[in-house]
Structure 1
């Protein structure tokens, strides 16, 4: 059995679904079910005895100790995190609690559990920490992509708390010997992504006839990674990654935010055309995010060189699969779009639009 934290969130749920479709090994799925955790994503696993769900907070040491003792996993894959930069700007305390305190608590529980294992099981055990490229800060247009040796320079409360969690994971290897490995991924997209993130937000607003908000001039660059490719990379790192190493996971798809919005609009024009005009007509520029990093780019050659992984999807194939999935799964979108989510989105983007209009 493996233990997955945050397995009802976007990347974690995709990983759990992917794992159980290809493996007979059971998953203990631990998720607090905050606003971004959605059991509806895991609906297809309700009758699967290999999927064991526990609603729990990684900050709760007593519960984590009990789960480890009861289920005896051979690995912990730590996806659980607060992950939205805008939310971290409005409320950083939650990010410190989940990303820093939660990772610390889980490491403490994992260390105690690992120390009590038989020697052979200790050697086979892994703690795989899933992190982000945002810990490296921002790149200039001509800078080389982030490598595994790029110095950390986080610029938002979100990325700062993820950087702190990365350092804690590293420290537990070097101080206590806990067998850890870390991945730092670029921007994920694909099915089941919570609709506060750019791509599902644009799809949802476009279909509802609402403005498509683009921060600043829309020229901020991200490296886009299809979530299915990310899941495949994590499986490889878990199976064959070297102890104590970090691996960057990227899609080799640098796109501006405006490029992404245009791509989504053009696909919707083809797949679900409006009676008149283009979805591009709904694009609206809003005030930029404070401290908005200009460019991220991932150099994923180490992962390809050592483990043979490279993304299967181009941005063009991945984004078409993603748009089509959202068109085919409107019921899931409607269930996720709770009153809390709508209230937050309206407040966030209304404030930015208002700020822009006064400049």
Structure 2
């Protein structure tokens, strides 16, 4: 039996659709989420196999109830507070969900002899790269979080490894680059630009949008997670990247062009504290161990994403 945390959120819900569509998995899947502002219960593919339970992972009693009720064998932990701007104005929800929530899940997993705890994390734990450097983040790159969100994810990564080193809990950690695709909340760059452009509103970008991000289509991310499951790999740490570095401003212009909107729908906002210049992921380790590679061309994935949002907006 699988437990998928954060199953009503962006990556978690897409992982559920991926499981249902591509894997042929016959295990029961228990989905938990606290249905916060970024969640959408209607996007989960619920049926007799995929069952939903409300759960706030920051509450130990909520987590224990789920593990006592269901015979959980594998955990896929997506649940997290993830919006950097929100973490800067109020870090506490990030501490409660990303750190305390993860610890609650680890403790319950240990008590119930979970076979594997797969912790989904972020490239932001590594900090920032220089704009024109060819260096990429590797699994051996020292952690250097630069905002409260990335600090909370770095802490949760360390707790996962600690629960293995101290108590023997089997684990996997995957640190992924910037995901895009259907069902992402409108606070994130790509859906925000689509939404604003559709309504002829300006999207304001930090420092003119010169930050570079490594873009990964969400189904490619899901396929990497499942590839590790298929290969039955445990007690290791992998980077998952899209090999697709683009400036935020260039992504924005691509969206405006695809929507046939003018470029003056881009504005410049004040500098955000702790903003990272560039992310770039070396995913050679997971490629060598599993054969996984990202397969979705960015333009193809972006057009599919735009189509999905337009169908929701019209």
SS at match of 1:206: helix
TM-score of the two chains, using structure 1 as the length reference = 0.84
C-alpha distance in 1 between matches for 2:42 and 2:52: 13
Per-residue displacement from partner, 1:83-128 (whole Å, max 9, x unpaired)? 01001001101101110111111111111111xxxxxxx6xx1100
Q: Which runs of 5+ in 2 are unaligned?
A: none
Shift of 1:288: 2.0
Shift of 1:60: 2.2
Q: Detail structure 1 runs of 4+ shifted over 3 Å in the superposition.
A: none
C-alpha distance in 2 between matches for 1:279 and 1:181: 45
C-alpha distance in 2 between matches for 1:36 and 1:282: 25
Shift of 1:143: 4.4
C-alpha distance in 2 between matches for 1:143 and 1:108: 40
| Structure 2 equivalent of residue 20 of structure 1 | 20
* Number of aligned residues: 311
Of 269, 276, 282 in structure 2, the residue corresponding to residue 286 of structure 1 is: 269
Per-residue displacement from partner, 1:118-161 (whole Å, max 9, x unpaired)? xxxx6xx1100000000000001214110111000000000000
TM-score of the two chains, using structure 2 as the length reference = 0.96
Shift of 1:74: 1.9
Tell me which structure has the larger Cα radius of gyration: 1
Shift of 1:212: 1.5
Per-residue displacement from partner, 1:66-90 (whole Å, max 9, x unpaired)? 3223221220010000001001001
**Structure 1 residue 151 corresponds to structure 2 residue 142:** yes
| Structure 2 equivalent of residue 315 of structure 1 | 298
C-alpha distance in 2 between matches for 1:95 and 1:242: 29
Q: Which runs of 5+ in 1 are unaligned?
A: 115-121, 270-277, 332-359
Shift of 1:242: 2.9
Per-residue displacement from partner, 1:277-305 (whole Å, max 9, x unpaired)? x3322111111211110000000111111
C-alpha distance in 1 between matches for 2:291 and 2:244: 19
Shift of 1:319: 0.8
Contact 2:208–2:267, Cα closer than 8 Å, also in 1: no
| Structure 2 equivalent of residue 8 of structure 1 | 8
| Structure 2 equivalent of residue 305 of structure 1 | 288
C-alpha distance in 1 between matches for 2:64 and 2:96: 19
Q: Which moved more, 1:293-302 or 1:314-323?
A: 314-323
Shift of 1:5: 0.4
SS at match of 1:329: helix
SS at match of 2:172: strand
Contact 1:65–1:113, Cα closer than 8 Å, also in 2: no
C-alpha distance in 1 between matches for 2:147 and 2:27: 37
Of 176, 180, 187 in structure 2, the residue corresponding to residue 189 of structure 1 is: 180
| Structure 2 equivalent of residue 179 of structure 1 | 170
C-alpha distance in 1 between matches for 2:178 and 2:232: 22
SS at match of 1:293: coil
SS at match of 2:32: strand
Q: Which has the higher helix share?
A: 1
RMSD value, Cα:
1.2
